[in-house]
């Protein structure tokens, strides 16, 4: 994997760049749709490619390990061939999913012991076998196994947790370096910076990660309960240390405003389930604000979903029609909303990139944040 830094925005830390993988190029900053089980919920691969213009999607190691299982993926020749997605894929290590199973898991020096949420069966993730699993899945970018503590964790817990994450990282990095991809193309391995909301722990973690010299680096453990301003502060602390010639991935974030603030602070890659999850529940993000499509006010509004002329999605559907679909509980409502929201997110990061290159990102960003946070 290669990363080329192409432009920086005066007065900010925002960057535009290009990641090159064996499955294609990724223009940064980029938002990555979440395809937990090898599919982005309610969205065809054709729509991801042609309408949403996704350049990379995510798969999740925990979920894919349980279903369809590693042997099926191995027989298929990896996730790309299994789901028909020809562009880059990133896989989460499953650490966050194990963290969320607080009543079903136990963390030890060996790894993360957990019970399947499907059938209660017992499993173990170690730093080594997670690398092996991700090799079988065949993602272009693999994430290291880490512990993701809650944003409210106290200092002592955060310090112990970080120590475990770093010891796991050392083992996972060794396994990555002594193994190769299974399908004839290269795979990158991103370590993850943890440390909750404590600047000294974040700095220690960022230096530990930077010293590995990995192809890219991730910032984890944010947007998990801490105040938003603390999240922004931790991004700034970490990005002062992470190398500028490698992509920086902020995991699991977030709202359109979160994304713009993260880009401002030097983040290159982001993902979140919000556009699809909130879309399925009737929330649409637009260039002029947020709409609840079940509201009565849209019942006779025959204007396009977003009539601003941004052309980031098919505008054939009116607000009245989409509201009718939601109120009628038609499945098409969730599909339209998911495609719309993902296309908006990809348009938004594309606009950020354009303004970074043009040199006026610092002037554009606050105006855009004011627009995207309105309630319509």
Instruction: List, by residue number, the catalytic residues.
Output: 92, 271
Q: How many Å is the Cα radius of gyration of the chain?
A: 20
Residue in this structure with the two tokens 């009565």, named with its chain if needed: 296
- Which of 326, 259, 318, 260 minimizes the C-alpha distance to 292? 326
Q: What is the DSSP letter of 321?
A: H
- Cβ atoms of 116 and 123 within 8 Å: the answer is yes
Q: What is the DSSP letter of 298?
A: G
> Parallel, antiparallel, or unpaired: how do β-strands 122-125 and 112-115 relate?
antiparallel
Listed in sequence order, the residues at least 6 apart from 99 whose beta carbon sits closer than 8 Å to its beta carbon are 105, 147, 148, 149
Question: Cβ atoms within 10 A of the Cβ of 301, count?
Answer: 16
- Which of 374, 217, 206 minimizes the C-alpha distance to 306? 374
Listed in sequence order, the residues at least 6 apart from 311 whose beta carbon sits closer than 8 Å to its beta carbon are none
Separation in Å, CA 375 to CA 1, 281, 284, 294, 325 = 41, 16, 10, 14, 21
Is 371 exposed, middle or buried, given 0-12, 13-18 or 19+ CB atoms closer than 10 A? Answer: middle
- What whole-number distance in Å separates Cα of residue 376 and Cα of residue 371? 10
């Amino acid at each position: 994997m290669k990363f080329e830094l192409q432009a920086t925005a005066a007065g900010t830390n925002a960057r535009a760049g290009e990641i090159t993988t064996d499955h294609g190029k990724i223009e940064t900053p980029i938002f990555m749709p979440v395809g937990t089980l090898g599919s982005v919920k309610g969205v065809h691969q054709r729509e991801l490619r042609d309408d949403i213009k996704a350049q990379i999607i995510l798969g999740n190691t925990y979920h894919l390990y349980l279903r369809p299982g590693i042997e099926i993926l191995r027989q298929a020749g990896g996730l790309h061939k299994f789901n028909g997605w020809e562009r880059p894929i990133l896989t989460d290590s499953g650490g966050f999913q194990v963290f969320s199973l607080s009543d079903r898991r136990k963390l030890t020096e060996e790894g993360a012991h957990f019970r399947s949420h499907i059938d209660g069966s017992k499993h173990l993730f170690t730093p080594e076998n997670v690398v092996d699993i991700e090799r079988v899945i065949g993602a272009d970018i693999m994430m290291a196994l880490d512990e993701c503590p809650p944003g409210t964790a106290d200092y002592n817990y955060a310090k112990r947790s970080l120590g475990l994450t770093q010891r796991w990282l050392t083992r996972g990095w060794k396994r990555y370096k002594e193994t190769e991809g299974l399908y004839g193309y290269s795979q990158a391995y991103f370590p993850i910076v943890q440390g909750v909301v404590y600047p000294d722990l974040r700095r220690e973690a960022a230096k530990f990660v930077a010293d590995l010299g990995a192809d890219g680096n991730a910032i984890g453990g944010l947007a998990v309960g801490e105040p938003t301003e603390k999240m922004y502060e931790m991004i700034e602390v970490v990005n002062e240390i992470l190398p500028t010639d490698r992509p920086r991935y902020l995991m699991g974030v977030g709202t359109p405003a979160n994304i713009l603030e993260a880009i401002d602070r030097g983040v290159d890659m982001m993902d979140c389930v919000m556009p699809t999850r909130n879309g399925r529940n009737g929330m649409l993000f637009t260039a002029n604000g947020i709409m609840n499509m079940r509201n009565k006010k849209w019942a006779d509004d025959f204007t396009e979903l977003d009539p601003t002329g941004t052309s980031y999605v098919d505008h054939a559907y009116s607000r009245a029609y989409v509201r009718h679909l939601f109120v009628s509980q038609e499945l098409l409502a969730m599909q339209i909303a998911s495609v719309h929201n993902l296309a908006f997110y990809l348009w938004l990061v594309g606009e950020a990139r354009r303004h970074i290159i043009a040199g006026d990102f610092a002037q554009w960003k606050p105006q855009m944040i004011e627009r995207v946070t309105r309630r319509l």
